[in-house]
Amino acid sequence: MTAPPARALESELCEGPACAARVPRIRTIRFEGPGAGATTTLRARTGFAIDQPANDEVLIRIVMAVGELPGVGGVSVRLGRADRDGETVDVTLTADGRPRRVSTVGLTTRAEGEPEADENWRLSRQVQAEERAFLLSAGRPLHPFYLQRDEDMLRRAWQRRGHRDVSVRTELAQAGELVSVVFRVSPGPRYTVSRVEIDGPRVESDAQREALVERLATRADDDAPLVPWHLSKDLAAIRAHYCARGYADARVDVVSQSGPESRVAVTYKVTPGPPATVGAVSIEGFALPAATQKELPLRAGGAYCPDLLVRTEAAVMRWMSNHGHPDARVELAATPVATPAGAPRRFDVGVRITADTVVKVTRIWFEGNRNTREDVLRQLLAVEEGRLYRERDLEVSVQNLLRSGLFRQADVQTVSGAHPSERYLIFTVTEQDPVSIDLLEQSLTLRNLDLANWPADFDELSAGSSFRGAGQEVRFVGRADEIGMRFRHLFLHRYLLAETEFAWHARAVGPVEEEWLEASVGIGTKVLENRLSLLPFLRLEATDLPRRAVFDPLPVAQGSTVDVEAGAIGRAEFNRRDAERIPYLGVDANVRYGHGLKSLGGDLDAATLDVRAALNLPLAENPVGAHYVLRLAGHYGHLWTDDPVPAHRRLTPTIRGYAGDAIAIPFADARGENDGRLGGARSLSTAAELRIPIRPLRRNAFAPFIDAASVAAEGEALFDRLHLAAGASYYFSFFSERLEGFVYGAVPFESETEWQLVGAGVGGSF
């Protein structure tokens, strides 16, 4: 048994958004068939897809855009090469004009008869967990394109489990305009891998060969399935391995031998061919900077491999598109050079770069911002009209839009301008819900407000958009221990932001209750599209802790005190976010320093430092673009004072698995009994969390974690009171993100301290 060649499985080599970089782009969209009469409407609906990659994600969006229009009916999609190099395609939509909708979708492995409800539910859930949800569902139009894609999805789902010979048969039963769909899957035998080996000359050490085998997609585990596209990936990986070592003509074939119980031994046979090296490398045409030339993958004297030509072309195009030349043409030619007998072959490589006029962004438009003001959107963009066209600026702009918290989705489309030196940009956004409620925190958040937009006619208030669109945020809290409001205006100006807060708090301190009022106001500056900001602030606090003899020996301020504090808050976020707005790569930090002075009218001198930072590291990516993320977070606090401070000002770290006020310094009352806990002068807490996305649910993840925290009083070592906890969280998002939150269970490792096993946060937009 011999596996099909790699080219036959080319479509399986790349799954998910990563395919966008390797598939041709859409040049034109054509319409035909009885349902294509409203051409103007259809063109307006599909204009977003021009110059976008012709992958399934974009094609599905095209069909969704036109498939609900009256008179269109079922839509089929056909791709045709638009140029000789295959870099662009023409998309033809055939609309049959028949108004048919799906009544039911069934899935079964039975050859005949109606699908059983239990089997249908179980198989559908398994497929969606491994692939995606069905495009066909009850109530949706019956598009032949959807039908074909769902058949392909089912075929892949069974092949992923090792059923190489699976077949899918579709039965349609029409009753009027409703059609029931039944997918009948014939799995065939399941093949598993018994052995994987590489039969080829050693061009590396034993350790490197072992590492290569470990990296192969096909694994010889106890129950590892034989997956066709894994074989294709392995062929490409092994060929690239030999090619990178100078064997440009390396040929790799896969030979598999079936054993008992459908066990298959896989052997990759390598014929390396003669070695080759790179001779001279010359660059003509556009003059690349010397530093950029040194960073190119292709270097004189190194191993020659055609893959290096492709990587070099991509590197040059990437540099050109980031410096105002997205239309540059890069041509590479490898010329064999005569060498002495027995010596490695040598190739001289010529790189010709042709760059037309410098391209600038001349128009920027926005779509989907029903309420958000355009000036708010422009504050988040790293590109402006009149500036050079840079691909990386577009990517940064989309990331800024996702990070802002105002939008659920964001994308950008590039359109050719009236002149070859012009580009138009269309940013498309989907706004977040304006109201969110946290049930456990008992808070209400109103986002994307414009409180200065008072309507001339107060009847306009019923429309719901009078006070929306300026990016302002107001948060109200109404708990038994806190009542207050916080206002944030991060878009006051392109380089200015403002925040203010007013709140009443209460907290038990031993047998009594401490109360305090605080008010703060700050106006600051920001740069890099809100990614870096500095907010100076002034804070006033009035505290009341009843005077009791029991507190006489405590280093806390009793009675009524007033604290006036001035300081600054620095924030930085340099994270990349995926399509679900989850940070997966980068760092974020928050540093707050405050200084209370008697000279400002306060009752005490004190200084506080609060530092929070987190590092996000992507470990893997699944086919739908969600990441496995390791998040490392830390929090350090320090309090400097020679005066007694209010009890709540002493530092108390929090940690999952322990009660919020449990990790602190025990104090004794006048009778010498431990009557409560106070924080220390320094605190440290850290957390390590691995976020594992759950398919096919959006923004759902399972996250095991380990937390550690410590607090120290004056004169104590910081780690003398170290506390640890381990557990797992489940982050959920249901009903189109209208219900979101988390639950966790934790096991604390300090039995003598107050602790709790579970916690949760639940909220959303209702």
If you compute the radius of gyration of the chain from its CA atoms, what whole number of angstroms results?
Answer: 32
Q: Look at residue 751 and tell me whether its pLDDT is greater than 90.
A: no
Burial class (CB in 10 A: 0-12, 13-18, 19+), 680: buried
Of 689, 709, 530, nearest in space to 615 by CA? 689
Residue with the larger pLDDT of the pair 577 and 48: 577
- Whether domain 6-95 has CATH 3.40.50.1820: the reply is no
Binned at pLDDT 50, 70 and 90, residue 81 comes out as confident
Structure tokens at 674: 């431990």
- Whether domain 276-354 has CATH 1.20.210.10: the reply is no
Number of other residues whose CB lies within 10 A of the CB of residue 447? 21
Q: Are 690 and 628 in contact (CB under 8 A)?
A: yes
pLDDT in tens, 680-730: 899 999 999 999 999 878 899 999 999 999 999 878 888 888 999 999 999
Q: Look at residue 77 and tell me whether its pLDDT is greater than 60.
A: yes
Cα of first residue to Cα of last residue in the chain, in angstroms, is 58
Binned at pLDDT 50, 70 and 90, residue 673 comes out as low
**Residue 644's pLDDT is what?**
87
Q: Look at residue 641 and tell me whether its pLDDT is greater than 50.
A: yes
What average pLDDT does range 542-550 have in this prediction?
Answer: 79
Binned at pLDDT 50, 70 and 90, residue 474 comes out as very high
Which range among 248-257, 478-487, 560-569 shows the weakest confidence by mean pLDDT?
248-257
**Residue 480's pLDDT is what?**
94
Q: Within the chain, which residue ranges are assigned CATH 2.40.160.50?
A: 525-764
**Residue 742's pLDDT is what?**
96
Which range among 159-163, 191-195, 319-323, 464-468 shows the weakest confidence by mean pLDDT?
464-468
> What does DSSP assign to residue 176?
T
Of 645, 649, 679, nearest in space to 662 by CA? 679
Binned at pLDDT 50, 70 and 90, residue 11 comes out as very low
Binned at pLDDT 50, 70 and 90, residue 43 comes out as confident
What average pLDDT does range 650-672 have in this prediction?
Answer: 78
Burial class (CB in 10 A: 0-12, 13-18, 19+), 628: middle
Q: Look at residue 13 and tell me whether its pLDDT is greater than 50.
A: no
Residues 6 or more apart whose Cβ sits within 8 Å of residue 198? 209, 212, 213, 238, 267, 268, 270
CA pseudo-torsion sign 197, 202, 203, 204: positive
SS3 state of residue 209: helix
Tell me the fold of 192-271.
Answer: Ubiquitin-like (UB roll) (3.10.20)
**Residue 604's pLDDT is what?**
86
Mean confidence (pLDDT) of the chain: 88
Which range among 7-16, 71-80, 520-529, 577-586 shows the weakest confidence by mean pLDDT?
7-16
What whole-number percentage of the chain has pLDDT above 90? 62
Architecture field, domain 525-764: Beta Barrel (2.40)
Architecture field, domain 360-431: Roll (3.10)
C-alpha–C-alpha distance, residues 296 and 417, integer Å: 31
pLDDT in tens, 313-329: 999 999 999 999 998 99
C-alpha–C-alpha distance, residues 123 and 130, integer Å: 11
**Residue 671's pLDDT is what?**
54
Which range among 113-122, 257-266, 423-432 shows the weakest confidence by mean pLDDT?
257-266
What whole-number percentage of the chain has pLDDT above 70? 93
What average pLDDT does range 467-479 have in this prediction?
Answer: 94
**Residue 408's pLDDT is what?**
92
- Encode 2-35 in three state secondary structure: ECCCHHHHHHHCCCHHHHHHCCCEEEEEEEECCC
What average pLDDT does range 412-422 have in this prediction?
Answer: 90
**Residue 569's pLDDT is what?**
98
Q: Within the chain, which residue ranges are assigned CATH 3.10.20.310?
A: 6-95, 101-186, 192-271, 276-354, 360-431
Q: Look at residue 219 and tell me whether its pLDDT is greater than 60.
A: yes
Tell me the fold of 101-186.
Answer: Ubiquitin-like (UB roll) (3.10.20)
Strand 192-199 and strand 263-271: pairing?
parallel
Q: Look at residue 674 and tell me whether its pLDDT is greater than 60.
A: no
Q: Look at residue 15 and tell me whether its pLDDT is greater than 70.
A: no
Binned at pLDDT 50, 70 and 90, residue 549 comes out as low
**Residue 373's pLDDT is what?**
94
What average pLDDT does range 241-246 have in this prediction?
Answer: 92
pLDDT in tens, 92-117: 999 998 889 999 999 999 988 889 99
Helix (H) or strand (E) holding 208: helix 206-215
Q: Look at residue 542 and tell me whether its pLDDT is greater than 80.
A: yes
Global pTM? 0.80
What average pLDDT does range 137-144 have in this prediction?
Answer: 92
Q: Look at residue 460 and tell me whether its pLDDT is greater than 90.
A: no
**Residue 325's pLDDT is what?**
94
Which range among 45-59, 153-167, 370-384, 415-429 shows the weakest confidence by mean pLDDT?
45-59
| Residue-wise DSSP of 508-531 | EETTEEEEEEEEEEEEEEEETTTT
Q: Look at residue 120 and tell me whether its pLDDT is greater than 80.
A: yes
Which range among 10-19, 245-254, 679-688 shows the weakest confidence by mean pLDDT?
10-19
Q: Look at residue 548 and tell me whether its pLDDT is greater than 90.
A: no
Helices (H) and strands (E) in the chain, counts: 10, 33
Residue 34: cis peptide before it, omega within 30 degrees of 0:
no
